[in-house]
Amino acid sequence: MNHLELKKVSKAVFRKVNDTRARTQILSSLDLQVNKGELVTIMGASGSGKSTLLRLINRLSETDSGIILLNGNDIKSHVPMELRRKIGMVFQIPVVFKGSVRDNLVFGIKLWEGNTGIEALSRDTGIPEELLDADASQLSIGEKQRVCIARALAIQPEILLLDEPTSSLDALAAEKVEKLLLGLQKERDMTILWVTHEKEQAARIGGRRLILRDGRLEDYHD
Amino acid sequence: MIEILALALTIILVIISAAYAQKFGIGKEISLAGTRALVQIMILASIILILFEKPLFWSFLVLIAMAAIAGNTTYSRSGKLDRVLSVSIISIAAASLLLLIPFFLMGIFPLEARYIVPTGSILIGNAMNVSSLAIDRYKGEIKNRRSEVEAYLALGAKPELAAAACLRQGILSALIPSIDNMKNLGIVWIPGVMTGMLLGGADPMEAASIQIAIFTSIFAAGMIASSLMLHYSTDSFFTKAAQLREDLE
């Protein structure tokens, strides 16, 4: 049984064109199977629907048709909040919550009454211990993204969706975050779907490479 | 005799203001608004006059109608979101009634239409203003902070928790004018009730005491109405699957 499976998933979005909302079909009968512990990179041009695809998987958006299965069960049979606890997500632009770094990391743990240790988590995600009590809004963008990754990992998701997590970072910070995520994936045998628009990054990351073209996923070969 | 003189003064002022405003191209609007205000206030006076002769039930009926109109105004401000009409009417009516009762329970005012209708209408009107400001700001915060709200949802937070910071900002912003008014009460301006009582020959201490009681009630009614309204309207911004709606205008 696949860990995650998408069958004939379609989605249209409304985009503003000259002050009117135009309907654009971005995913058309898309299929995808992902095994447990697999790393899948998804490439595609801007506006091709990469982010939308991830949002459908943790139900931040709704499919128009098709079915998404998690461990063989339709994701619509899950309570949405519980589904999102199982399928974590890191967004392109890091958004930290008001308060300290520790407040951010503790949020999900308290919400789900988890037992993730903050110190171990910050060490695994490369957040220096002295930063834990710093105001999260004052961090650099690279540090904020680390906080967002740690915050997503704190609730111990089965699957991690990464929506261009390094695109807003400079080359050095991006490389660090990349290494960090790959290390965590190996260490925790985590299923990861990693969206990127950079072919070079996809090649560095490795795993199975797919490209989103005309609303469907195809294998990508150099 | 006094009422005829007051009405004559009003008509003269409307005509002069409209004539002067003509220079800015808004003479017609001023004359129309002035005439409309005059007619509306005379109709209201006639209704209150009729209510004096009717059982108290009718006074409460008039207040319910006022709350319904106020709720509809706030609903329009929300962009006519699902469920917000009933939520705003109930919130405004409940908060106003809650703050109206003590005036009669404690014997500050006798239980008569003369006191019930004006006091109730002040509470309803202010609850409406605060609620309209609050829902407008709440909606704006949710739209502008979509990424933050979705970051909360992505961790498995319920919509109420994901929107909590936006809700707090909505209520705080809506209450700022009332808080500023309260701070400056009696320094920058003498409020309406006290002015009316003084003009009617009341003792200044009595007028001031009643004014401050009404003023704090107005504040509390606004705060309760807007809190209730925003709390119960949160679901209108989300789908049943706890997704932030994409069609928020």
Q: CB–CB of B154 and A84 under 8 A?
A: yes
Nearest to B155 among A76, A98, A107 (CB): A107
List residues of A whose CB lies inside 8 A of any B CB: 13-14, 58-62, 76, 80-82, 84-85, 88-89, 91, 93, 95, 97-98, 107-108, 111-112, 148, 151-152, 155
CA distance A152 to A187: 16
Those residues of chain B that have pLDDT short of 50 are: none
Amino acid at A63: T
Of A209, A213, A208, the closest CA to residue A199 belongs to A209
Task: Work out the number of other CB atoms within 10 angstroms of the CB of residue B39.
Answer: 10
**Nearest by CB: A80 against B148, B155, B241:** B241
The B-side interface with A (CB below 8 A) comprises 147-148, 150-158, 161, 165, 239, 241-244, 246-247
Q: Which residues of chain A fall below pLDDT 50?
A: none
Quote the pTM value: 0.86
CB-CB contact of A89 with A193 (8 Å): no
Helix B113-144 with B84-105: angle, nearest 10 deg: 140
pLDDT of residue B151: 97
Whole-angstrom distance, CA of residue B181 vs CA of residue B174: 13
Answer whether A151 sits within 8 Å of B150, measured CB to CB: no
Residue with tokens 């205008």: B249
| A88 min Cα distance to partner chain B (Å) | 7
Q: What is the pLDDT of residue B249?
A: 67
The whole-angstrom separation of Cα A148 and Cα A133 is 15
In this prediction, residue B149 carries a pLDDT of 97
Cα–Cα distance between A74 and A9 in angstroms, integer?
12
Residue in A60, A88, A111 closest to B150 by CB:
A60
Q: List the structure tokens of A111.
A: 């919400």
Nearest residue to B88 (alpha-carbon basis) of B77, B97, B99: B77
Q: Please state the ipTM of this predicted complex.
A: 0.93
State the smallest CA–CA distance between residue B246 and chain A in angstroms.
9
Contact state of B155 with A60 under an 8 Å Cβ cutoff: no
pLDDT score at A2 = 85
pLDDT digits (tens, 9 = 90+) for A171-185: 887 888 888 888 888
pLDDT in tens, A13-43: 888 777 788 888 999 999 999 999 999 999 9
Number of H helices and E strands in chain B, helices first, is: 10, 0
Contacts of A205 (CB under 8 A, 6+ apart): A39, A41, A178, A182, A194, A196
Report the residue from A14, A59, A148 with minimal CB separation from B241: A59
Please, what is the average pLDDT of chain A? Answer: 91
